[in-house]
Amino acid sequence: MPIEQNRLENILKEKFPNSKIIIEDLAGDNDHYSVFIESSLFNDLSKIKQHQLVYKSLDGLMDNELHAMQLKTKGTN
Amino acid sequence: MELDTNTKDKIEKLIGENEVLLFMKGNPDFPMCGFSSVASTILKKCGVEFGHCNVLDDNDIREGIKAFSDWPTIPQLYVKKEFVGGCDIMKEMAESGELVELLNTRGIKTELS
């Protein structure tokens, strides 16, 4: 079940304000995305915690509507 | 997502019995998903012996491991009962050398070390 890039972008922008967010639709099918987020919210968090924060922000979309997401996260410090 | 005691026990037994364990779709020779394929290739390249659990064979584990690790996707890597991460984290750690380092500090032999 695909999710439109706009919708994904809006959710992430809302949950990660003042952050650098780059989304790429890898296959052009609204179902395989590459997401990069650089945010101060990630500062001093382990990689696992950073990714968990992103998954939580998507609130159950992951693995349901969103099948495949390559995720890269980075703090600002 | 609920995790029943039975499934929790099963998962704990698996990660207790395998120092390095990859929860994946398919098996290392025939991965059934691109992400699982990348993850098992990374471990093969490290030259580390690892066990795997094909979540497609057991729907309880397939759903349960997500709650257990608080992680919504497969594959998932465990080293000495500790959750290391999914495919993207494994990729980053393999590129930076952290993965071999982590395995070695946990006393696990790799060909790359």
- Substitution target from B1, B71, B73 for chain A, most A beta carbons within 10 A: B73
Inter-chain touch B71–A55, beta carbons under 8 Å: yes
- B110 found inside a domain: no
When pLDDT is averaged across residues B90-96 and rounded to a whole number, the result is 96
Taking the model in full, what pTM does it have?
0.91
Q: How many domains does chain B have?
A: 1
**CA distance between the termini of chain B:** 39
Please state the separation of Cα B23 from the chain's center in Å: 4
Domain contains B112: no
A71–B72 C-beta distance less than 8 A: no
- Higher model confidence: residue B94 or residue A29? B94
One-letter amino acid for residue B2 of the chain:
E
SS3 A7: helix
Helix (H, G, I), strand (E, B) or coil at B113: coil
Which residues are within 8 A (CB) of B13 and not within 5 positions of it... i.e. 6 or more apart? none
Task: Tell whether A70 is within 8 A of chain B (Cβ).
Answer: yes
Question: Is residue B78 assigned to a domain?
Answer: yes
Instruction: List the CATH number of the domain containing A61.
Output: 3.30.300.90
Q: Identify the pLDDT of residue A1.
A: 63
Which CATH number does the domain housing residue B57 bear? 3.40.30.10
B70, B72, B93 ranked by CB distance to A63: nearest = B72
B55 burial via Cβ count (<10 Å: 0-12, 13-18, 19+)? buried
pLDDT in tens, A5-64: 999 999 999 999 999 999 999 888 888 899 999 999 999 999 999 999 999 999 888 877
pLDDT at B113: 55
Residues of A in contact with B38 (CB under 8 A): none
Whole-number pLDDT of residue B32: 95
Residue B47 lies in a domain: yes
Q: Do A63 and B92 touch (CB under 8 A)?
A: no
B89 inside domain: yes
- Residues with Cβ within 8 Å of B38's Cβ and at least 6 positions away in sequence, in order, are B87, B90, B91
Residue of A26, A51, A65 for testing the chain B interface, max B β-carbons within 10 Å: A51
Asked if pLDDT for residue B90 goes beyond 70, the answer is yes
SS3 A44: coil
Element (H, E) at B5: helix B5-17
CA distances from A32 to A27, A29, A68, B31, B80 (A): 6, 7, 5, 18, 32
Q: Is residue B94 part of a domain?
A: yes
Which residues span the domain enclosing B69? Answer: 5-105
**Measured between CB atoms, which of B66, B73, B89 is closest to A48?**
B89
Q: What is the pLDDT of residues B17-76, one digit of tens each?
A: 999 999 999 999 999 999 999 999 999 999 999 999 999 999 999 999 999 999 999 999
Domain boundaries, position A30: 5-74
Q: What does the DSSP 8-state code read for residue B33? A: S
Total domains, chain A: 1
Which contiguous run of DSSP H or E holds residue A21?
Answer: strand A20-25
The answer to whether residue B73 is domain-embedded is yes
